[in-house]
Structure 1
Amino acid sequence: MNHTRQALRALLLTGALALPSLAQARAAHEAELEARLEKLEGEMIALKADLQAARQQQAETAQAASLAQAQATGIAAAAAKAEAVEKRVASLEARPTPPAEGFRDGNTTVRLGGYLKLVATNSRFSGGEMANNTQGRDFWLPQSIPVGKGPASRDQDFSARQTRLWLNFASDIAGHAVKGYVETDFETTPNTSASVTGGGNQRTTNGYTLALRRAWMQVDKWTFGQDWTTFQYTGALPESTDYVGTTEGTVFVRQPLVRYSQALSKELTLHVAAENPETASASLGAPALTENGDDHLPDATARLAYAGKIGELSLAGLARQLRVQNGALSDTRFGWGLSAAGKLYLSTDRVSDLRFMATYGNGAGRYIGVNFAPDAVLDPASGQLHGVSTFAAMAALRLGIASGLRANLMGSYQHVRYADDIAAASIATYNREAWSVAGNLFWSPVRNIDLGIELRHGQRKLVNGGSGKLDRVEFAAKYGF
C-alpha cells in the first residue's frame, strides 16, 4: 500500500515537472508558425509588386512600339514629301522666270521682265515673191502667202523684232490689291510698211518701232486696260520659234476692255467683259479688210476657266453687233462665237502636255487667225452685210525628252464659209481655208536660255481654188529674264 502511494506520488511529481516544458514547446511552435505566415505574406506582396511592374513594362513596350511605327510612317511620308518638293523645285528652276524681288517705289513693287530673241528664217513661197519688210516674212501669217502660178521664191531673213519687255506693278492701297502691267515688243506696228521702213532698213540700222501689246490695271476683281481678249485661252499657244505658232487655228486678239473675274471655287473662275468693238468687213469683189469704226455697242465676252491637277480647261463665248455705214446706207448683224480649249498635263513635272483649241462662229472673223476671214461681206450697192462663218482648230503636243531638251509637234486649220446668197465670182479671191503642220526641238543649255530649230509647211487656199504654199526652216535663240 505504501509502495503504491509512493509510485503515484512520483508520477504526479514527474507530470508536474513536464507541464512547463510542454507549454514552452507549444509557444515556440506557435511563434514559428507566425513567422512563417509573415514571411509568406511578404512573399505575396513582393509577387504582386513584380506582377504590377511586369504589366507596366508590357504597356510601355507596346506604347514604344506604336510610337516607333508612327515615327516610321512619318519618316516615310516626310521623305515622299521631300522628294515631291525637290521635283517641283527642279521643275520651277527649269522654267525661265523673272526675278521675284523687283524694286520698291513708295508702296509699289516694280518688276522688269521679258526676253531678247533672235529669229532666223529661210522660207520658200510656191506662189511667187513676198514683199520685203512685211510680217509674213517674219512669222507664219497664212493670209499673206503669195497665191498664183508665178515662179517660186526663197528668202533668208534675220530679225530681233520679237524681243519683248514688260513692267509689272503691285501695290496695297487702303486694303485693296492694285496691280498694273505694261508689255511691248517690236513686231507689230499700226502701219507695218511705213513704220518698219521709216524706222530703219536692213541695209544699215535695222531699227524698228516699239509697239504696245498690253497695258492694264487691276483693282481687286476688276481689270481695266488693254489685254488678251477674254474670248481667248492663251495657254493653248504652243512653244514655237514662230511668233504665234498655230496662227490660223487660234483665237488671237489684244484689245482694250473692262473685265470682272469671280472665283466660283478653288479650281473654277468666271470672267466676263465688255471689249472694244470693231467690225472688219470686206466689200464684194475686193477681199481687203476695212476697219469701219461704225460700231455702237461693245463686244461682250465670257470665259469659264478650270485649273486643276489634270491641267487647264476653258470654255468661252462671244456676242457682238456688226455694223457698217456706207454713206446713207447702213446695216447691222449679230455676230457670235464659241471656243473650247485646254492644256492636259502628260507628266508629273508638267514638262509634257497636250494643248488644243476649237472655235466656231458667225461674224467672229477678226478674233480668229489674226483676221484670216472678214466678219461680214458688204454689198456697197445696197449697204447689206452678208454673214461669214468660220471654223478653226489647233493641237500641239509637247514632249520632254531629257533635262532641258523637249520637242513640239503642232497642227492648225481654218475653214471659211460665206453666205449662200453671195455670187461666187464676187468673192473668188477671198480666203477659203488655211492649214499648217510644224515640228521643233528646243534645248535649254542653262536656265533662261532657249535654242530652237523648227520645220514648217503651210498652205493657203482661195474660194476660186487658187493656192500658195510655204516651206520654212527657222532658228531661234531666246534669253528670258
Structure 2
Amino acid sequence: MSIKKNASIFTASALALAVAGAAQAYTIEAGDTTANIYGYAKLDMIYDVDDKLGNAINRNDIRLDGAPGSDGHTDLHAFQSRLGFTTATPAGGSEIKTMIEGDFYGGGGGTFRLRHAYGEWNGLLAGQTWTNFGGFLGMNPTIDFNGQPGQANVARQAQLRYTVEGFSVALEDPENLGGSVDSAASKSRLPDLTLRYQGGAGDFSYAASGVLRYLEFDDVGAAQKDSTTGWGLALEASAKVTPDVTLRGSIVHGDGIGAYQYLAPVGSPAYVASNGSVETIKGTGGTAGVSVAAGPGNVSLGYGISTVDLDDAVADGAMAATANEKFEGVFLNYIWSPIRNVTYGVEAGYHSRKQVDGDKGDAVRLQGMVQYNF
C-alpha cells in the first residue's frame, strides 16, 4: 500500500465547488483500488441585522413587519466542515466507484450526518446522493449554506439511478425531499420517478429535469382514502459570455412536488380537503445570477424566488392564512483564494417572506468565511 498527495479536484457539493476552489485529496493505493480522502474546515462568521436566522438562513424566522423582536445577532460556527472519501476499483472492463461523505450540519448544526453514500458501476448508481431532479447549473455561488431559493432541489436522498451519456433516470425515496400528503394517514406506495438530461455546447451548459409522483392517504379508521399524481419540471443553464463573466439561471414548476422545489415556503406536496379528496399544491420558482472575475476571485450577484399557491387550501380550512406563500433572497458576495486550498469570502444578503394573508417581513444578513481544504 502506498500513500501520496494527489492534485485532483473533488467537487464534493455545489457549495464546495462554488466557495472552496480546488480541494486536494490524499490518495491511498491498495492493490488495484485507489482511495481518495478529502475535506475541509470552514468557519462561518454571521451577523444578522434583524432577528436571528439560524446557522443557515431560515426564512421562517424572518420577523413580520410590525412584530416585536430584537435586532443584531452574531454567531460563529464550523458546522459545514466536511470529510469524505472515494474509491475506484477496476471490475468487468469498467470501474466500481464509491463515495461516502459527511459534515456536521445534522440537527441543524453540531451533529455529524451522512451526506453521500453510494456505489456506481456501468452507469448504475445505488445509494444516497444528489436527487436526479436537481442540478447546479443555475445556482449562483453563496457563502450561506442554503443559498438561493426557487430552483429544483439540490439536496440528497436514497435512489437507484441509471445514466447513459447525458440522460439519467432514477427511482427515489418518495417521502424525503418531495414529502407526503399533509395527513397522519398519508402513505407512500410507489417511489418517485425522476428523469434528467444535461448537455452543452462550448461555454453554454443546460439541463432539463422531470419528476412524477404518486400521492396517497388511507385513513382506515374513518374509512376514507384517495390518491392523485404530482409532477414537476425544471430547466437550468449557465453561460460564460466572456472569459470573466458567467450568467446562470433556472426555473422550476410543478403540482404536488413539495420540497423538490428548493426552499419551498411549504414543503407538503398535497393536503386532504374537507370532502376527503387529496388536493395537490402548485409551486413555482426561479433563480438568476452573474459572476464577474475580480482579482484572485469573483464577485457574484444572485436572486431567487420560491412561491406556492395556497389559496384553495386556506379557503378549505386545511391551512391557516398565516402560512408562507413566497420566499425571496438576494446575495452579493466576493469569494477569493489567495493561494491554493485557502478560500475567503464576504457576503451581504437580503431575504423576505410573505404570508397568504398579506403579512410580510424582511431581514438582512452579513456573513464571512474562512475555509482550508485538504
Regarding TM over 0.5, the answer is yes
SS in 1 for 2:187: coil
Cα shift at 1:166: 1.4
Which residue matches 2:226? 331
Alignment of 1:8-27 (within 5 A): none
Tell me the residue number matched to 2:367: 474
Q: 1:321 aligns with which of 193, 214, 239?
A: 214
- What is the 5 A alignment of 1:309-388? 309-328=202-221, 329-348=224-243, 352-373=245-266, 374-379=268-273, 382-388=275-281
Determine helix, strand or coil for the equivalent of 2:111: coil
- The one-letter amino acid paired with 1:416 is V
Structure 1 residues 253-304: Cα deviation after superposition (integer angstroms, max 9, x where no partner): 31001111112xxxxx111111111163575xxxxxx787610011000001
Task: Point out where structure 1 has 5 or more consecutive residues left out of the alignment.
Answer: 1-93, 131-135, 197-207, 264-268, 284-289
Aligned to 1:227: 129
1:149 equivalent among 63, 66, 73: 66
2:303 paired residue among 411, 416, 419 = 411
2:320 alignment partner in structure 1: 427
Q: Return closer, same or farther for 1:312/1:213 CA change in 2, 3 Å cut-off.
A: same
Q: Distance in 1 between matches of 2:192 and 2:65?
A: 37
Query: Which of these residues, 155, 171, 177, is aligned with residue 253 of structure 1?
Result: 155
Offset, 1:148: 5.8
One-letter amino acid of the counterpart of residue 336, structure 1: W
The answer as to whether partners of 1:386 and 1:422 remain within 8 angstroms in 2 is no
Alpha-carbon deviations, 1:18-52, whole Å to 9, x = none? xxxxxxxxxxxxxxxxxxxxxxxxxxxxxxxxxxx
Distance 1:332 1:282 in 2: 9
1:443 aligned partner, one-letter code: W
**SS at 2:106's partner residue?**
coil
Q: CA deviation at 1:174?
A: 3.2
| Runs (4+) off by over 4 Å | 290-293
Mapped partners of 2:227, 2:241: distance in 1: 46
Task: Using the TM superposition, give the Cα deviation of residue 188 of structure 1 relative to its aligned residue in structure 2, in angstroms.
Answer: 3.1
TM-score normalised to structure 1 length:
0.68
Whether the 8 Å CA contact 1:224–1:257 is kept in 2: the answer is yes
Q: Kindly tell me: are residues 292 and 475 of structure 1, through their superposed partners in 2, closer, same or farther at Cα, counting changes over 3 Å?
A: farther
From the superposition, tell whether residues 247 and 292 of structure 1 become closer, same or farther in structure 2 (CA, over 3 Å).
Answer: farther
Q: Could you tell me which amino acid in structure 2 is paired with residue 375 of structure 1?
A: P
SS in 2 for 1:390: strand
Structure 2 residues not aligned, in runs of 5+: 1-18
Give the secondary structure class of the aligned counterpart of 1:102. Answer: strand
Conserved? CA contact 2:46–2:367, under 8 Å: yes
Q: Are the counterparts in 2 of residues 281 and 292 from structure 1 also a CA contact under 8 Å?
A: no
1:296 aligned partner: 189
The TM-score, its normalising length taken from structure 2, stands at 0.86
- Counterpart position of 1:201: none
- Which has the larger helix fraction? 1
Aligned length, in residue pairs: 349
Helix, strand or coil: the match of 1:186?
strand
| Candidates 271, 284, 289, aligned match of 2:168 | 271
Deviations 1:176-220 (A, max 9, x none): 31100111111133xx4xxx5xxxxxxxxxxx2100111110011
Quick one: higher RCO (CA 8 Å, sep 6+), 1 or 2? 2
State the match for 2:22 in structure 1.
97
RMSD between superposed Cα atoms in Å? 2.4
